């Protein structure tokens, strides 16, 4: 992950956490806690790594389920919030600062499960991240993550027509009116993600695209960023389940 991504989160973390006000739990779709997907199954007694833990809501939830959890994040501001949240819930979770593309602070074969939710749009080098994740997982370890579906962001939110190219991957800059920094993210195709997983030594077990064709099943979100009519037409979330071979 890049210095500009880190700078963005150091600047906006507190505002983001206050506004989004996420409950403790696993937020796979970016629209609130949705543990009903049951992707991580029973983690009691397992060593779990959250890659890009943000405010720690997911890490705290898994610690409360009996996992030994380590949350990693690039931003010290996010980690500060996560530690406060863990203290509030009396949850035993460790939080460390670091880049998901370089997990050198962890020995080989340290974890049983690695996961994250809505993080990889911030990561430019997925191949490096996946190689490192494979290295720190034990043989047969599970890697589960969700990310923005690359097709959803291509549609104009008003007309629903395709407004951008699916093949325009890589660095994306979104101008911000209210901050001194623009937001930088990275667009990855489905093939990019799948092939990076396979190249790192993972066996992909499932891909999921959760959603509904009923606009009434969606809310607009804390900033009005979710468009129910568009969400009922296109998947907004892509989920991978993989296992370290």
Q: What is the DSSP letter of 55?
A: T
Q: Is the pTM of the predicted complex or chain greater than 0.85?
A: yes
Contacts of 97 (CB under 8 A, 6+ apart): 72, 73, 74, 75, 76, 79
pLDDT of residue 62: 95
pLDDT of residue 224: 64
pLDDT reading at 106 higher than 90: yes
Contacts of 245 (CB under 8 A, 6+ apart): 139, 201, 202, 203
pLDDT digits (tens, 9 = 90+) for 207-240: 999 999 999 988 887 666 789 999 999 999 999 9
**Residue matched to tokens 């956490």:** 17
pLDDT reading at 134 higher than 90: yes
pLDDT digits (tens, 9 = 90+) for 156-184: 999 999 999 999 999 999 998 888 899 99
Q: What is the mean pLDDT of the chain?
A: 93
**Residue matched to tokens 């099943």:** 217
Token readout for 104 is 């050198």
Mean pLDDT, residues 130-152: 97
Of 78, 168, 164, give the one whose Cα is nearest residue 119.
78
Residue range of the domain that includes 173: 3-244
pLDDT reading at 36 higher than 60: no
pLDDT of residue 38: 79
Select the more confidently predicted residue: 123 or 1. 123
Q: Among the listed ranges 92-96, 106-110, 176-180, which one has the minimum average pLDDT value?
A: 176-180
pLDDT of residue 220: 82
pLDDT of residue 105: 97
Q: At 32, is the pLDDT very low, low, confident or very high (cuts 50, 70, 90)?
A: low
Reported as type and span, the H/E element at residue 228 is helix 228-231
SS3 category, 109: coil
Pairing relation of β-strands 170-174 and 183-187? Answer: antiparallel
Q: Based on the structure, what is the number of domains in the chain? A: 1
Provide the CATH number for the domain around residue 39.
Answer: 3.40.50.150
């Amino acid at each position: 992950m890049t210095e500009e991504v880190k700078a963005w989160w150091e600047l906006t973390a507190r505002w983001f956490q206050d506004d989004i006000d996420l409950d403790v739990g696993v937020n796979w779709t970016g629209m609130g806690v949705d543990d009903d997907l049951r992707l991580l199954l029973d983690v009691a007694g397992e060593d779990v790594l959250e890659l890009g833990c943000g405010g720690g809501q997911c890490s705290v939830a898994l610690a409360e389920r009996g996992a030994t959890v380590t949350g990693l994040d690039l931003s010290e501001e996010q980690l500060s919030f996560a530690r406060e949240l863990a203290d509030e819930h009396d949850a035993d979770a460790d939080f460390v600062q670091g880049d998901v593309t370089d997990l050198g602070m962890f020995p080989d074969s340290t974890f049983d499960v690695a996961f994250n939710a809505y993080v990889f749009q911030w990561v430019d080098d997925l191949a490096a991240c996946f190689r490192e994740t494979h290295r720190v997982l034990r043989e047969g370890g599970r890697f589960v993550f969700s990310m923005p579906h690359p097709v959803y962001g291509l549609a104009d939110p008003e007309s629903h027509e395709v407004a951008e190219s699916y093949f325009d991957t890589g660095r994306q800059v979104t101008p911000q009116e209210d901050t001194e920094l623009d937001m930088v993210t990275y667009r990855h195709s489905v093939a990019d993600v799948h092939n990076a997983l396979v190249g790192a030594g993972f066996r992909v077990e499932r891909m999921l695209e959760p959603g509904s064709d009923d606009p009434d099943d969606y809310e607009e979100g804390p900033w009005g960023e979710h468009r129910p009519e568009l969400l009922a037409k296109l998947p907004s979330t892509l989920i991978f389940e993989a296992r370290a071979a």
